[in-house]
């Protein structure tokens, strides 16, 4: 009866994961979907703790188990509540890395159990070894890569590459796979130590394949590493014959992989280049010099320009998140609409520092999801737009992506804001964006600069519009 009840717990968990993932597809149901999936996870965890049984024995070490649950719950809750929206990509990378580390540690522990029991012959199925090594390699790469991504997002780790790194990465990865295959089919007591060489190689590869990746490409990397963690968790599900771990891992892995493919398409990049560690590094030659003079616009002129426009499009970027200006941005939107102005938002797939960063930011301010336009739709609308207001975005509106073959972002589809009648750019200064390159858009005749913190500038802009 207990086994059947545990199976029911796993079934509930699996179904809630699927339902929760479906609900995450829309901001109005996303929060509830998260709670539904979390409830299913809770049922699965406590079902395992109290109902799991093998050879007539239940789990032991309840003290350690519940101590870990309490500590993890407290740390996770505090981290999630205190994190700023600007630091959300870092937190996602950190938590994702912990998932990869968990999967890798499961493989290490299970390998030690098998070898300690002297099951190094045909008595242990090859599928078991395959699950162990797959979880070890993928989980270790996810952990190491996520830690580097975390460091790069918060500025502690800089881009680094060396001559021949692509070849070295490919050779290293091939060596990891070949050594794993050798141990799966030929493990003996004498060569067991090579298991830890696979672990070390996977950790090194995880570091090396993320280190050279440029800032503008980090959202794709985060998505890819997330899919790695899901696959590693699925391997642990195979290893334990645990349906809920398998379902959860497959869902995360599949969703992350699909998102990565879509992000690569949006960036016009090759997924192969991501895997060999040269992502965003294919530019050659000398970048075109950005010359000319920029012009500033006063708050009063910007207020008049936007108030008497027929259509205004807002392009949010990382600067909006840094200033926590999403709420006053929504206030500006409502104020303009009261004056009869049509307002919408143009969202680039990789705006911000992680997939969906801007969508989450605007949803937090209760911006109507229907007002958010994807890049292709927005590019069709710019031609009939009177004013484009760019709030802290840089690389996703940089014309160099279309005109400069030597630029690191060359070939990346961008928001073609220059097609609008007037472009107003809000930035703190003329410093380059996250990719570290100048933006020729700022020097074009139709572009005016509105300097200052996004929140303060928007608050003053709202006040100016109200006074008209």
Which residues are identified as catalytic?
A: 395
Q: Around 221, how many Cα atoms within 13 Å sit in the side-chain half-sphere?
A: 38
| Separation CA 287–CA 283 (nearest Å) | 9
Q: 57 by DSSP, 3-state: which?
A: strand
The upper half-sphere exposure of residue 192, i.e. CA atoms within 13 Å in the direction of its Cβ, equals 14
Q: What is the residue-wise DSSP string for 124-174? A: S-HHHHHHHHHHHHHHHHHHHHHHHHHHHHTTSS-----TTHHHHHHHHHH
Q: Tell me how far apart the alpha carbons of residues 207 and 210 are, in angstroms, rounded to a whole number.
A: 6
3-state DSSP assignment of residue 66: helix
Range 171-202 burial, b when 16+ CB lie within 10 A, else e: ebbeebeebbeebbeebeeeeeeebeebbebb
The pair phi, psi for residue 353, each rounded to 5°, is: -120, 5
| 54 phi and psi angles, rounded to 5 deg | -140, 125
Could you give the CA distance from residue 228 to residue 223 in angstroms, rounded to a whole number? 9
The gap from C-alpha 230 to its chain's centroid, in whole angstroms, comes to 13
State the DSSP string of 261-310.
Answer: HHHHHHHT--HHHHHHT-TT----SPPPP--S---B--HHHHHHHHHT-S
d(CA 108, CA 195): 9
DSSP 414: -
């Amino acid at each position: 009866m207990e086994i059947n009840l545990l199976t029911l717990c796993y079934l509930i968990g699996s179904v809630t994961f699927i339902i929760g993932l479906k609900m995450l597809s829309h901001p109005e149901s996303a929060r509830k979907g998260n709670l539904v999936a979390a409830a299913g996870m809770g049922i699965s965890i406590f079902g395992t703790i109290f109902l799991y049984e093998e050879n007539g024995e239940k789990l032991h070490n309840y003290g350690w188990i519940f101590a870990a649950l309490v500590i993890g719950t407290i740390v996770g809750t505090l981290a999630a509540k205190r994190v700023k929206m600007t630091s959300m990509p870092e937190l996602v990378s950190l938590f994702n890395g912990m998932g990869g580390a968990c999967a890798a540690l499961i493989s290490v522990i299970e390998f030690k159990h098998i070898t300690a029991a002297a099951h190094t012959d045909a008595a242990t199925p090859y599928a078991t070894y395959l699950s162990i090594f797959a979880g070890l390699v993928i989980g270790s790469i996810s952990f190491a890569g996520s830690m580097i991504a975390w460091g790069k997002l918060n500025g502690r780790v800089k881009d680094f590459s060396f001559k021949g790194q692509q070849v070295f990465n490919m050779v290293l990865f091939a060596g990891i796979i070949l050594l794993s295959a050798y141990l799966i089919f030929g493990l003996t007591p004498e060569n067991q130590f090579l298991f830890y060489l696979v672990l070390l190689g996977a950790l090194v590869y995880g570091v090396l394949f993320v280190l050279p990746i440029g800032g503008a490409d980090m959202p794709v990397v985060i998505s890819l590493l997330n899919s790695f963690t899901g696959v590693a968790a699925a391997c642990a599900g195979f290893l334990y014959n645990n349906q809920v771990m398998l379902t959860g891992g497959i869902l995360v892995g599949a969703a992350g992989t699909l998102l990565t493919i879509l992000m690569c398409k949006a960036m016009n990049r090759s997924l192969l280049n991501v895997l060999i560690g040269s992502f965003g590094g294919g530019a050659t030659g000398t970048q075109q010099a950005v010359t000319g003079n920029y012009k500033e616009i006063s708050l009063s002129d910007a207020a008049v320009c936007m108030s008497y426009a027929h259509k205004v499009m807002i392009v949010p970027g990382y600067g909006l998140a840094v200033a926590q200006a999403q709420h006053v941005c929504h206030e500006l939107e409502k104020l303009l609409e009261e004056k009869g102005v049509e307002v919408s938002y143009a969202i680039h797939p990789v705006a911000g520092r992680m997939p969906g960063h801007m969508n989450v930011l605007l949803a937090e301010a209760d911006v109507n999801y229907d007002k958010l336009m994807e890049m292709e739709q927005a590019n069709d609308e710019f031609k009939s737009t009177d004013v484009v207001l760019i709030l802290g975005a840089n690389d996703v509106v940089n014309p160099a992506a279309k005109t400069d073959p030597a630029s690191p972002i060359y070939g990346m589809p961008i928001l073609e804001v220059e097609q609008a009648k007037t472009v107003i750019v809000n930035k703190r200064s003329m410093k380059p964006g996250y990719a570290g390159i100048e933006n020729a858009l700022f020097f074009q005749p139709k572009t005016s600069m509105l300097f200052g913190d996004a929140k303060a500038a928007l608050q003053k802009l709202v006040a100016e519009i109200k006074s008209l």
